[in-house]
């Protein structure tokens, strides 16, 4: 719409300029013919005024404007000069007039030519600036992409090294942990009458169970199971994940709002159990960040070649200093967190060719976006 308005305005400007140039040339020519009885010097001086429309036409329309305006003046003034020639005009005066006409045409052509060269140079300069700008933008994008890839490579190297180191260590911890748990249970049975000992046993048992969960998560992270891929609608996995977190939502009195899209029309080729683990981790993290009350938003999203979901909470958000480390194993800001949740999510998505991005919202809280490659067949 804006482009059409500009084109119309330019056309009106062209018509206006052509009209002004034509009117000036016609007026000067009419003056020549209506004052034919004036002295020859008067007409020679009057011819100088033709330079104005010729130069303006050349500046406005380039070489074509200079040539056409010069030739038009020549054709219009030719009968007048022929008439004066028949009246026995002096040869020097006649030559002066012809030289003047030649200069008018020459100035028009030269000005038009120079204007054309200037415009070509300007266009080349603008094109060079545009190419330079595009190159700068391309370099910026490539630099950002390189930084992202280097970050992912570093993350993968850290996870690989940790996996090799931790697999045996986790098993060695689990064995004595099981013995400790059994011993605590036996001690609790023998000391049923001692409430203080029973309380200590309860605490020790809870801590053993917490350590066992930590080791289980650690083993799952260190030795990921082989993917069992199958084509499934992401919407189905989201519905199952939402159903599983309903008790946690009710416990914390949190409302889950869902924003639909065209996600239900697409399939993804994934390991359903692992993607459900991703969905649960992201939703549970949002519940932990939310605290008590409030609202969590679950959105279905899609981008070119990808389909997924985004979870937004109304918590405190994530400190910018913390953001670069949220995928590192054992890095957590929670008092009872293991620091493996997002690391596991990152690894699962990496195995599936997916993406995760975490950002702070403009108002309050954080937004986590998960994307998975869409099946080639589409909807």
255 φ, ψ (degrees, to nearest 5): -95, 130
Strand segments, DSSP code E, in the chain are 230-233, 255-259, 267-270, 295-303, 306-312, 355-360, 366-373
| 264-292 b/e (C-beta count within 10 Å ≥ 16 → b) | bebbbbbbeebbbbbbbbbbebbbbbbee
The whole-number pLDDT of residue 291 equals: 77
Residues contacting 97, CB < 8 A, separation 6+: 40, 43, 44, 47, 81, 84
d(CA 283, CA 260): 16
Task: Please give, one letter per residue, the 3-state secondary structure of 306-346.
Answer: EEEEEEECCCCCCCCCCHHHCCCCCCCCCCCCCCCHHHHHH
Where is average pLDDT lowest: 254-268, 302-316, 320-334?
Answer: 320-334
Q: Which residue has the higher pLDDT, 52 or 332?
A: 52
Task: Concatenate the DSSP letters of all residues of 52-83 into one string.
Answer: HHHHHHHHHHHHHHHHHHHHHHHHHHHHHHHH
Helical packing angle, 272-290 and 341-352, nearest 10°: 140
Where is average pLDDT lowest: 222-236, 329-343, 357-371?
Answer: 329-343
**pLDDT-above-70 percentage for the chain:** 78
Number of H helices and E strands in the chain, helices first, is 9, 7
Averaged pLDDT of the chain: 78
Q: Which fold has domain 230-373?
A: Heat Shock Protein 90 (3.30.565)
Strands 295-303 and 255-259: parallel
User: Which pLDDT band, with edges at 50, 70 and 90, does 164 fall under?
Assistant: low
d(CA 261, CA 297): 13
d(CA 133, CA 335): 49
By three-state DSSP, how is residue 318 classified? coil
Dig out the tokens for 15 from the structure.
């018509």
pLDDT surpassing 50 at residue 133: yes
The whole-number pLDDT of residue 186 equals: 81
Where is average pLDDT lowest: 11-20, 177-186, 344-353?
Answer: 177-186
Residues 216-270 pLDDT 10s = 666 666 556 677 788 888 888 888 888 888 888 888 888 888 887 666 677 888 8
Q: What is the mean pLDDT of residues 282-288?
A: 85
Residues 30-50 pLDDT 10s = 887 787 666 666 767 777 888
d(CA 72, CA 59): 17
Strand partners, 309: 300, 370
By three-state DSSP, how is residue 277 classified? helix
DSSP 8-state symbol, 193: T
The whole-number pLDDT of residue 88 equals: 47
pTM more than 0.85: no
Domain ranges across the chain: 2-137, 155-222, 230-373
d(CA 338, CA 330): 6
For the chain, how many residues are written?
379
298 φ, ψ (degrees, to nearest 5): -110, 115
Strand partners, 360: 366
The whole-number pLDDT of residue 25 equals: 85
Residues contacting 241, CB < 8 A, separation 6+: 276, 279, 280, 283
Dihedral sign, Cα of residue 277, residue 278, residue 280, residue 284: positive
Q: How far apart are the first and last CA of the chain?
A: 34
Q: Please name the residue that has the structure tokens 């028949």.
A: 86
């Amino acid at each position: 719409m804006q482009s059409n308005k500009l084109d119309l305005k330019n056309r009106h400007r062209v018509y206006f300029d052509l009209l002004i140039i034509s009117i000036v040339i016609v007026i000067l020519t009419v003056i020549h013919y209506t004052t034919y009885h004036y002295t020859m010097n008067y007409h020679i001086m009057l011819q100088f005024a033709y330079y104005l429309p010729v130069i303006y036409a050349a500046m406005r329309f380039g070489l074509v404007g200079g040539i056409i305006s010069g030739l038009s003046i020549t054709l219009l003034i030719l009968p007048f000069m022929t008439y004066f020639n028949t009246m026995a005009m002096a040869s020097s005066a006649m030559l002066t007039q012809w030289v003047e006409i030649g200069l008018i045409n020459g100035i028009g052509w030269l000005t038009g030519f120079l204007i054309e060269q200037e415009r070509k140079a300007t266009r080349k300069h603008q094109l060079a600036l545009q190419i330079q700008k595009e190159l700068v933008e391309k370099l910026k994008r490539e630099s950002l992409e390189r930084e992202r890839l280097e970050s992912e490579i570093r993350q993968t190297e850290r996870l690989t090294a940790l996996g090799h180191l931790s697999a045996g260590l986790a098993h060695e911890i689990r064995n004595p942990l099981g013995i400790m748990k059994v011993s605590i249970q036996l001690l609790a049975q023998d000391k049923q009458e001692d409430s203080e000992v029973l309380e200590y046993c309860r605490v020790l048992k809870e801590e053993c169970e917490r350590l066992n969960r930590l080791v289980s998560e650690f083993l799952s992270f260190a030795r990921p199971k082989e993917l069992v891929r199958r084509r499934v609608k992401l919407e189905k996995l989201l519905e199952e994940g939402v159903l599983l977190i309903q008790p946690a939502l009710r416990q914390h009195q949190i409302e889950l709002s869902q924003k639909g899209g065209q996600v239900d029309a697409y399939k993804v080729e994934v390991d359903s159990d692992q993607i459900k683990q991703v969905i649960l981790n992201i939703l549970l993290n949002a519940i932990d960040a939310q605290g008590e009350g409030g609202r969590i938003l679950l959105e279905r999203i899609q981008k070119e070649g990808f389909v997924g979901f985004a979870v937004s909470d109304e918590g405190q958000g994530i400190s910018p200093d913390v953001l670069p480390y949220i995928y590192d194993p054992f890095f957590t800001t929670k008092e009872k967190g293991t620091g493996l949740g997002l690391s596991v999510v990152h690894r699962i998505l990496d195995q599936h060719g997916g993406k995760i991005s975490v950002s702070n919202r403009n108002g309050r809280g954080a937004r986590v976006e998960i994307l998975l490659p869409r099946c080639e067949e589409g909807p």
